[in-house]
A and B are shown apart, each in its own frame.
Chain A
Amino acid sequence: MLSQQITTLIDKELTKYPADQRQSAVMAALRFVQDEKGWIAPEDMADVAVYLGMPQMAVYEVATFYHMYNLKPMGKHTLTVCTNLSCTLCGAGDTVAYLEQKLGIKMNEVTPDGKFGLREGECMGACVDAPLLNVNNKKMCGKLTPAKIDGILADLEGGKA
């Protein structure tokens, strides 16, 4: 079941579109689910489909097409590291290696305490700040160095997201 909070947000989103085009709100709806639950379970996709009056498979297509949607639990803080060309040229490989070593997990894994998840991402459109990572698809951190990464992780550990 979608929470009251999510349906309220979806309803607000729906006012942006024509009444017979409810499926226009699908991306936003999935985002609200992920914001609340950290990931989107198939049952949630089915609920979104029912709520928006669209085929379940169509929701699944959207949810699997965009890599920002987590299809499995990815921890409290999902760190998405860009590994596209610009970032890689500027040392994204080192960023990934450092994060993996520091967190003790590999890509697409979650730390045992469920705090951090690590994902590979696509270009975030801010190559000027390469290498980049994104926290929970909300906060972008650029010009990464080991020291800066330590700072980000410490902030997140300390509850400052």
Chain B
Amino acid sequence: MINIEIDGKKIQTENGSTVIEAAHQAGIAIPHFCYHKKLSIAANCRMCLVQVEKAPKPLPACATPVSEGMKVFTHSEQAVKAQKGVMEFLLINHPLDCPICDQGGECMLQDMSVGYGNGHSRYHEEKRMVLSKDIGPLVSAEEMSRCINCTRCVRFGQEIAGQMELGQAFRGEHAEIMSFVSGTVDSELSGNMIDLCPVGALTSKPFRYKARSWELSRRRSVSAHDSLGSGLAVHTKDNRVLRVLPIENDDINECWLSDRDRFAYEGLNSDQRLTKPMIKQGGQWQEVDWQAALEFCANGLRQIAGGAGAEQIGALATGNSTLEEMYLLQKLLRGIGSDNVDFRLRQSDFSADGKQQGAPWLGISVSDIGRADRILIVGSFLRKDHPLLAARIRQAVKRGAQLNVIHSADDDLLMKIANKSIVAPGGLVEALSKVALGVAAKQTDGIAGSLAGGERVAVLLGNFAQQHPQAAQLQALAQQIAAATQGKFGFIGESANSVGGYLVNAIPASNGLNAAAMLAAPRKAYVLLNVEPELDCADAQQAIAAMQAADLVIAMSAYRHGATEYADVLLPIAPYSETSGTFISSEGRVQSFNGAVKPLGEARPAWKVLRVLGNLLKVDGFDYETSQAVRDEALQGVDVAAKLNNAVSAIESKPTAVIGLQRVADVPIYATDAIVRRAMSLQATSDAAQPKVWLHSKELSKLGVAAGAQVKVAQGQGSALLEVAADDGLPEGVVRVAAGHPMTATLGAMFGTITVERA
């Protein structure tokens, strides 16, 4: 620690920090544009010039390291004169038309010019003009004349997103921010550039000219998509969600949001929203009132329970449902005598059920992942499945952590990978057991050597590993490796409330059927909570068949979706923005939130719908006044941290027979849940492009088809016609076809044999 003095205030600060950091610590504001605490120092805006004793001229506070006894003056005559001078230069070329700028009201330049600018400009010459650019459907670069060339967006791309899509081309007066040859910015974190841009150059395309910042109400919420639990500030106007910004928390999402978290709100205002309860009568959908709809449901369920038996009723929820919803759903099902309830819709191996010592979770805190020195990621499309976790690991790798990957696809993670083993899905267990043996044998190279050499080891199982047909074996092996390296292991939860689903027992207890079994042995009645079976389940084909065969399908959904074909009742429920609820993030963080707006039309929070259903079916204990009461009952006396445990025992190995080509299915980043699928701007990005059939080029030549041709992929009874493309990062013998997309919903299991032939 060293002692310095800023504006006469004595401050102790760490050696190596900069003047601006020391000032911020002490609560002293120094004007700045290009400086950002999470980005490298550029010192190119010069706004933070301060006077330093014994220095001959003003120094930039962001790039000046502190030294013992340093005396800094941020508001002395010299400092203010310098700051005002810089401001005058910045405003020479900046348009002075704040009233028509989308950033107006939340613009750093506007705010700062009030403090340091002049009432009028001394500059009468023509201003420089920079042409607008089209860099994609999310970020608007419509008004690049407003750019002050701080390069925050460029540095964000290079340092946080891991790909330099924007750069500063040309020089001096001609310098401008642009992409290479009018390319689009495709990063899954691109929206953060909007937040970073201190002026109105980069703005949000979907939000552009929708509202002024002072007209918006702000509500705290939690991301309903990935399992990180990012904090959201939901901005609303006239009972509509107009945009979503991050709430800063260094332990979770820092100051970032993934584009999925940021732009998915458009799905909340989709015209596919279901606003009235509907019943299918004589093959026709009729709008009815809630009373009629719920009585229809209760009668139907009662009839099936009384006739075929309660075990003929199954309930499926997505992991994006709130804790309260899942708690009530399982309570309702159990109340009427069925144990068939599950939320693990894309899982295919349930052999760890009953052998699990607690709720599977991340096994380590998110911030500790950033501090790990050896990381092994098993089976994860990390960047697309968990964009911000990937960004955090990227920072860890930059600081020297070694990242090892075992997976069935070799997507670019945009960070240095120490070792990787890319094998077909059938070889995943073998690849991981090799590492386990290597660690035990004190191997010094490869993945095992990397892990053995670490002090803080993290072994993380991604979505692909959790959906794998040998998921339990992968879990047991990860446990073995973590034990041998004194590390941590865990699951990067697939969705916002994966941990919550386990904690409220939204899984079969003893004799019940799990998600896969419920669809493999079709039930007579299904209760669907937020589920679009053809898109959310491990085997789309099977899910659809089960739905079509059922006598009664009750679909609780915020949207009119595929269920219109097979459901008997559609109950409009409120998405996360319109209900209070709780998500438990992958690291076990319990986060409750309130609705940001009122439910649309006649939609109602699902916990209220389930409450009424419980009452109609005369199940005891459904008299909740508030969702908080539900949460309190669900979590009463539950020590969440103590319940989180990844340990498993006695997992038997079950070899899988591998015949023919094996399917590798990712769930594309903008196809993960019902809300995201209806967010139009996200659907216009390149990440949401039509799924292709990806094969190793050797497989392509074996088939005798060229990349770009149409092929027919088939599984079971169903097939799909898709474009084929080459990806030499894939192992041979593998066909990558995305799941969760309408174009591939005719196919079968996400893992398994698949055939490809010329169309």
Contacts and interface: CB of A to CB of B under 8 A. Distances in A.
Residue of A56, A57, A64 ringed by the most chain B CB atoms within 10 A: A57
Interface string A47-86: 0000000011110110011000000000000000000000
Nearest to B164: A55
Given A42-B180, A42-B181, A46-B180, A57 B167 contact: yes
B170 interface: yes
Interface residues of A, number: 11
B169 A58 contact: no
Interface string A93-106: 00000000000000
Instruction: Give the interface SS of chain B, mostly helix, strand, loop or mixed.
Output: mixed
A150 B4 CA distance: 67
Nearest to A67: B171
Contact of A65 (B158, B163, B166, B171): B171
B168 interface: yes
B167 A60 contact: yes
A60 B183 CA distance: 12
Contact of B171 (A45, A46, A57, A64): A64
A65 B183 CA distance: 19
Nearest to A20: B416
A60 B169 contact: yes
A55 B169 CA distance: 13
Contacts of B179: 57
Contacts of B170: 64-65
A58 B164 contact: yes
A55 B165 CA distance: 8
Contacts of A55: 158, 163-165, 167, 180
Contacts, number: 36
Contacts of A46: 180-181
Nearest to A59: B180
Contacts of A57: 164-167, 169, 179-180
Contacts of A58: 164, 167
A98 B180 CA distance: 37
Nearest to A43: B181
Nearest to A65: B171
A55 B166 CA distance: 10
Interface in A97-153: none
Contacts of B164: 55, 57-58
Interface in A16-63: 42, 45-46, 55-58, 60-61
Given A42-B181, A56-B180, A57-B180, A64 B163 contact: no
A61 B163 contact: no
B189 to A, nearest CB: 16
A61 B181 contact: no
A8 to B, nearest CB: 26
Interface string B165-199: 11111110000000111010000000000000000
Contacts of A45: 180
A45 B165 CA distance: 14
A61 B170 CA distance: 7
Contacts of B168: 61
A64 B180 contact: no
A64 B181 contact: no
Contacts of B166: 57
A61 B169 CA distance: 5
Contacts of B158: 55
Contacts of B163: 55
Nearest to B168: A61
B474 to A, nearest CB: 33
Contacts of A61: 167-169
Nearest to B176: A64
Residue of A42, A46, A58, A60 ringed by the most chain B CB atoms within 10 A: A60
Contacts of A56: 180-181, 183
A65 B175 CA distance: 8
A45 B169 CA distance: 13
7 contacts: A55-B165, A55-B167, A57-B180, A60-B167, A60-B181, A64-B169, A65-B169
Interface of A: 42, 45-46, 55-58, 60-61, 64-65
Given A61-B168, A65-B169, 6 more contacts: A42-B181, A46-B181, A55-B158, A55-B164, A61-B169, A65-B170
7 tightest A-B contacts by CB?
A57-B167, A55-B164, A56-B180, A64-B169, A57-B180, A61-B167, A64-B170
